[in-house]
Structures are given as structure tokens and as C-alpha cells.
Amino acid sequence: MTRIGKSVIGLALMCLLGAAVIPSGARAADKVNINTASEQELMKLPDVNEARAKGIVGYRKSNGEFIQVDELELIPQVKPIYNKIKDLVVVE
Amino acid sequence: MMAPRSPGWPIALLVCLALAFGARVARAESAAIVEQHGQWEMSYGAVYYRVFGYVENKSSKPIRYVKLQLDLVDANGKAVYSTVGYNQKAEALGTVEGEGAETLKKAPPAEMMKKIEPIKPGEKDLFRIGVSKDDIPKKPKFKTYQLKIVEVK
């Protein structure tokens, strides 16, 4: 095998290892869609207890589906933990 | 009998349009958006997306008003909703909120203009343009906003 070929394989292995080891945040597929998630699904998010999950579902019922994730800041129970969950949720 | 049109009329029309556009651009440059921020707000149970900021009079003459256009744009950069607003001192010209707003709106344009306190040279004035969530299309969802000055007088 040529030197360049070995380097390419080595680089590819490093990338694969990096992707597996380094936490790169939630991927879109792993994120919770706050427009469709149930209270139980929302409670899987960090620091989201029953009251906070109810707050999200209640907001959705009163004001229609979320247009942007930022709207979570309008929910008093959720505002204190907004920065913890904003990258783990999505609006679809 | 109608006189035949001079062949130069399209050029004259283009020159006029170019001059008008140039004047408009020049006027827009006399004011600038110096600060802006968009956020969701809840007021009396209704949800709004509001963009706040400051415009500054960059010219050497007082400015009566600065008209701004707010575009909510989707992930592809396409506007899904657009609206206009004015600097705070000239809010009576647009969507008016608060006491006395109706009186101002009923006044003739010249009379209304007199009631507007101008922005002095170098002075900044606040602006806020709000859109009710009910008016924002649900699909496609807007991702961000774009704001530009469309008129300065």
C-alpha cells in the first residue's frame, strides 16, 4: 500500500473514532420535536419535570404550534432551563 | 391628431426613474439602523415577534421619520411575511398603540407630520416592529428576519 493510501485510511479511522467519542450535540433525528412530543417524551429532556412538560404542552394548546424554539422562553417554568434544552429540541 | 412621440422618450423615462431611485437611496443613507434585536414576547396573553432597535440620523438635517421594512424569512432566505413600521417618534404614521393614537391617525397627513418630533442630526431613536403570531404563516416557518430602511423623510 502506498504511503498516501495509508494516510487516507488513517485519517478516515481517526474521523470515525472522533465521531464516536466526541459529543457533537444532538443530531436532528435525535432531537425532540416540541410541536408533537407528549409530556412523557418531553420529560426525557434534562431538567424537564412534569410541571415543565405540562407548561410546554399547555403553551402549544393555547398559542398554536411553535414557530421557533425561542418561544420556549415565554413559558415561565421553562425559561430557567432554556439554555440547557434549546439544542436538544426542534420545531417541525 | 396626436403628435408622434419622440424616439427619446424611453431614455427620458429611464433617466427619471434612475434619478428618483438615486434620490430615494440617498435619503435612506441619511439614516442607519445602529442596533437591532428580535424576540418573542407575550402581551395580554397574545404572542408577538418583535424587533427592537435604534435608528440614527446620520445627516446634518432633522429627519421627520424613518420607515422600516421587516421581512420574516425562511431557511431558504425567502420572505414568508413582511410588514413596515416607523421609528418611535413617528409611530403615529403606522400601526399605532396607546392613548391618543386614534386622534393622530384621523388627522390629515400634514397636520400629523407637525405632531411628529423630528430626529435631530446625530440623534438616535428607538423603533419596534411587532407581528402577531396569528399573522405569521405556520409553514414554511421563518428562521430569521431581515430589516431595512425603505424611506427617510
What are the structural domains, with CATH classification, of chain A?
25-90 (1.10.150.280)
Contacts of residue B136 in chain A, CB cutoff 8 Å?
Answer: 67
Across the interface, do A68 and B40 touch by the CB < 8 Å criterion?
A: yes
Chain B nearest-CA residue for A66: B138
Global pTM value: 0.72
Chain A nearest-CA residue for B39: A70
Chain B nearest-CA residue for A60: B47
d(CA B55, CA B93): 16
d(CA A37, CA A54): 11
d(CA A82, CA A72): 7
8 Å CB contact between B65 and B117 = no
pLDDT of the residue at B114: 81
pLDDT of the residue at B13: 53
Closest by Cα among A68, A82, A17, A25 to B143: A68
Check CB contact of B141 with chain A, cutoff 8 Å. yes
- Based on its alpha-carbon atoms, the radius of gyration of chain A, rounded to whole angstroms, reads 19
Check CB contact of B41 with chain A, cutoff 8 Å. yes
Angstrom distances, CA of residue B56 to CA of A75, B14, B34, B91, B124: 34, 32, 6, 16, 4
Across the interface, do B133 and A91 touch by the CB < 8 Å criterion?
A: no
d(CA A70, CA A90): 10
DSSP B119: B
- Please tell me which of the candidates B41, B138, B143 has its beta carbon nearest to residue A65: B138
pLDDT of the residue at B29: 76
pLDDT, tens digit (0-9, with 9 covering 90-100), for A27-76: 667 899 999 999 999 999 999 999 999 999 999 999 999 999 999 999 99
- A9-13, A19-23, B6-10, B82-86: which is most confident: B82-86
Look over chain A and give the mean of its residue pLDDT values, rounded to a whole number: 84
Vertex A62: Cα angle to A56 and A63 (nearest 5):
85
Chain B nearest-CA residue for A76: B42
d(CA A60, CA A36): 9
Confidence of residue A14 (pLDDT cuts 50, 70, 90): low
List the single best residue of B42, B74, B80, B139 to mutate versus A (max A Cβ within 10 A). Answer: B42
Distance from CA of A74 to the nearest CA of B (A): 7
Question: Which residue type sits at A11?
Answer: L
Distance from CA of B80 to the nearest CA of A (A): 12
User: Which residues of chain B carry a pLDDT beneath 70?
Assistant: 1-28, 95-109
